[in-house]
Amino acid sequence: MLTVAGSDSGGGAGIQADLKAMLALGVHGMSVLTAVTAQNSLGVHGAWELPAEAVRAQFRAVVDDIGVQAVKTGMLSSAATAATVADLLAGLDPAVPVVVDPVAVSKHGDALLRAEAVEVVRTRLLPLATVATPNLDEVTWLTGIVVTDEEGMRAAARAVLGHGPRWVLVKGGHLPDTEQAVDLLSDGRAEHWYRAPRHGNRHTHGTGCTLASALASYLALGDDVPTAVGRAKEYVRGALAAGFPLGAGIGPVDHGWRARAH
């Protein structure tokens, strides 16, 4: 399975989280690095985008030799990188599942997607997605809709689907004043709601990356989309519950929680 994303030097999110999740779920992880960040538990202290030719070379090296059973995209940073990735994904076999995590802002509020790149993600990347996985802030970036309740999540799903993905998973973890974390998966015809109690653990760095990678991993293993989402949610719930304090800020989820539980 291939992740196309940025590096988190602190190891909690990005490429590092993706590869850890893939390993935990029994999938061989491969990577295309789009950017390097200087990042720790306190925030993003710098980011450097890789040139388009480096992104293309990594992608071609992996796909042309090894092949892929699923692809997950994360931090794309700029319009140029997003367009490069869209061109590469458009050349894949349409049967290869693509999970697009439209990463815009880090856990600490640091911007990871330039404003001019949003239109490229909206018009060129989302139409290639088997599943798009925006959180509520990313929904607003993509559609202008501000979600405050579950009915708003339905409106958000319709709006995102209007840009072309086959499915959208609207992540409702940022909904205010709810005792449960609520996510909505929709393809415009069927709705699947996923509910789980909130964890009091504040060490949640890498949650979105981990969920998208777990989802793509289960798709690579042959699950249909609703089943893959349910299994990915179960894995992330355990990783959240086991999240640990690392550094002075927000620690990461525990990608290896299942191994440590035995």
Catalytic residue among 3, 73, 143, 207: 207
Return the closest-CA partner of residue 4 out of 98, 67, 134, 144.
98
Degrees, nearest 5: CA angle 124-126-131: 155
Catalytic residue among 10, 29, 74, 206: 206
Q: Coil, helix or strand for 33?
A: strand
Annotated catalytic residue 72: no
Annotated catalytic residue 73: no
Annotated catalytic residue 208: yes
Annotated catalytic residue 171: yes
Catalytic residue among 34, 37, 172, 209: 209
Catalytic residue among 73, 171, 243, 251: 171
Edge-to-edge strand list for the sheet holding 180-186: 43-49, 30-40, 2-8, 71-73, 98-100, 131-132, 167-171, 180-186, 191-197
Annotated catalytic residue 107: no
Catalytic residue among 12, 208, 243, 251: 208
Return the closest-CA partner of residue 64 out of 92, 105, 22, 26.
92
Catalytic residue among 204, 210, 233, 243: 204
Annotated catalytic residue 206: yes
Strand partners, 171: 135, 183
- Residue 151: how many other CB atoms lie within 10 Å: 9
Residues recognised as catalytic: 171, 204, 206-209
